[in-house]
Chains A and B, each alone.
Chain A
Amino acid sequence: MDFDLRDLRVPKEAVLAGVAMTGLEKWYDVSESRVQALAETNLTIEKGELVVLLGPSGCGKTTLLRMIGGLIAPTHGEIAVGGKPLWKGSTKQADVLSDLGFVFQDANLFPWLNIEDNIALPLELRGVGQAERRAKARELAELVGIEGFVKRWPKELSGGMRQRAAIARALSCDPSILLMDEPFGALDALTRDTMNLELQKIWLATGKTIVLVTHSISEAVFLADRIVLLSPRPGRVDRIVNVDLPRPRSLDVQALPKFQDIALELRHRLGSIHQEY
């Protein structure tokens, strides 16, 4: 494909399958005063895009992601997934929510289910039969590279393995959008590199739209098509940085001048954000 979906005059397909946020705001009530966690935000994430939300703590990146995932309700504004609103009044739309998969910082696997049953949990909640669940769980375990561990308890797996299982669980209902909240933040640096490569592989293989939150600049530049840099108090979009490094990227990409330029630009901006607040 020579053309970019973003170049099309009417990105109808993109809007239908991506995430559109308009006038999104989040306020919290903190002991009789209101605190703005996220100032008015307009952001569109297109189909198949890998967008990274980057920023210091308190910048509202997790709040934004949890709002997209329907875990918290926005105070103002709208979120549309694939052109359909996530909220109608105060009720979440089940069909919209089912198109989203969420991966948390902790794997949050249920210790009383083995890996296979953990991966298939979303299918079980939808009433999918056992044979089909098992087949799907095995297929996903293979995709994330833990096919030899499906019968184990979560406590028997390493942190990286558990996070792989959590990704497989998020993919089990075949959502078109994967939301990841610092998914590799709790892992050691070497495992983190491996997981970044794996995630890119999964993304290229499945063509999902991915929105990932991180505070690691190198992780952001390595993974992202676009980086949304947020600044705190109140959380808001500071700037959007395109990362047009070729795919698939190997870890060596970090040595490229372009990679370092982008990383440096982000580091400077984050540094001045840090001084301002």
Chain B
Amino acid sequence: MTTLDVPVVSRGATRKKSVSRETLLPWITTPLLLGILIALWQAYIVITDLSPFILPRPAAVWFAWLDLVRSPRAWWHTWMTAYATLLGFAYGLVVGVGFGVILGRFRWVEVTLNPFIIGTQVLPKVALLPLFVVWFGFGITSKVLVAAILSFFPILTNTVLGVKSVEAGHRDVMTALNATSWQIFSRLEYPSSLPYILTGVEVGVVLAIIGAIVGEYLGGNAGLGFMLVSRMNNFETAGLFAVIVQMTLLGFAFYFAVRALRRFFIPWHQSQAG
């Protein structure tokens, strides 16, 4: 048996080594590629003598972003966008998972509602925004609504898929144990659908940010979207870039939060290797 054990152990060791090399690589390549990109950007401006109104120098963007970070007002705008995103996303999540479970469980509900679901899915949701402004004014409600509607659909479709993908063998186990409807949901359908739901969440949270920002374009005087439009109106191109950087950082924050949720909720899933 020892002769059999040895190669197995050594193979495991090499795999571990290559995995750690794989996790290390982006930490070197990412700053490198970013550096090259910024150098190309700078070189393009120097060679073509481009106006800073069209494309500001990387350094100008950097200083504009530093200004933004130092301004409490900008942080308040960032928070407003984050708040509209989170609130809208929370609504989208609760309603999306709720409807998803019902649609996934009851075939006749799905068949009945399917034309409406497809209809609302192909409808460009941002087109509803002026209507929301008419109904709810320029306050935060219209932004929250757009964020909610945009994040609702990927969460809904993934939840339906998740509930439908529950393994027949797992259902048999619960049937043989005479489990109640609630037990089947809470002990089987919910945990089994979680990887799917979290995939929906990953897409949904990004769409919620888009919803909130587009909402801020159209009306009101708060949020990163509003900041962006006012910078544009003042021809502050460097400032425009700074706001885009800030939005990207906000996006990253949400993305990493969802990644952490994955690790916390589904450590058993194959997407959590190692």
Contacts and interface: CB of A to CB of B under 8 A. Distances in A.
A125 interface: yes
A98 interface: yes
Interface string A102-125: 101010101111000000011011
Nearest to B178: A97
Contact of A104 (B169, B187, B269): B169
Contacts of A97: 176, 178
Contacts of A112: 191-192, 194, 266, 268-269
A31 to B, nearest CB: 19
A111 B268 contact: yes
A259 interface: no
Which size bracket describes the interface of B in this complex?
A: 20 to 34
A153 B169 CA distance: 18
A189 interface: no
Nearest to B265: A112
A71 B176 contact: yes
Contacts of A223: none
A110 B177 contact: no
Nearest to A126: B177
A113 B191 CA distance: 10
Given A155-B268, A155-B270, A70 B187 contact: no
A111 B166 CA distance: 12
Contacts, number: 52
A153 B167 contact: no
A153 B274 CA distance: 12
Contact of B176 (A102, A110, A153): A102
A233 interface: no
A100 interface: yes
Given A70-B178, A94-B178, A102-B176, A108 B169 contact: yes
Contacts of B269: 111-112
A128 B256 CA distance: 38
A55 interface: no
Contacts of B191: 110, 112
Interface in A57-78: 69-71
A153 to B, nearest CB: 5
A108 B187 contact: no
B93 to A, nearest CB: 20
Interface string B187-210: 110011010000000000000000
A98 B191 CA distance: 24
B266 A100 contact: no
B175 interface: yes
Contacts of B170: 108, 110
B114 interface: no
A108 B270 contact: no
B173 interface: yes
A125 B176 contact: no
B268 to A, nearest CB: 5
A92 interface: yes
A178 to B, nearest CB: 11
A106 B187 contact: no
B49 interface: no
A20 B176 CA distance: 19
Contacts of A111: 268-269
Interface in A179-214: none
A112 to B, nearest CB: 4
A108 B172 contact: yes
A122 B187 CA distance: 11
Given A108-B169, A108-B170, A112-B191, A121 B177 contact: yes
A200 to B, nearest CB: 23
B165 interface: no
A108 B268 contact: no
Q: Which of B176, B179, B192 gathers the greatest number of chain A CB atoms within 10 Å? A: B176
B121 interface: no
B183 to A, nearest CB: 6
Q: Which of A112, A113, A153 gathers the greatest number of chain B CB atoms within 10 Å? A: A112
A122 B179 CA distance: 9
Interface in B155-190: 167, 169-170, 172-173, 175-179, 183, 187-188
Interface of A: 69-71, 92, 94, 97-98, 100, 102, 104, 106, 108, 110-113, 121-122, 124-125, 153, 155
Interface of B: 167, 169-170, 172-173, 175-179, 183, 187-188, 191-192, 194, 266, 268-270
Given A112-B266, A112-B268, 10 more contacts: A71-B175, A97-B178, A102-B176, A106-B169, A108-B172, A110-B188, A110-B192, A121-B173, A121-B177, A125-B179
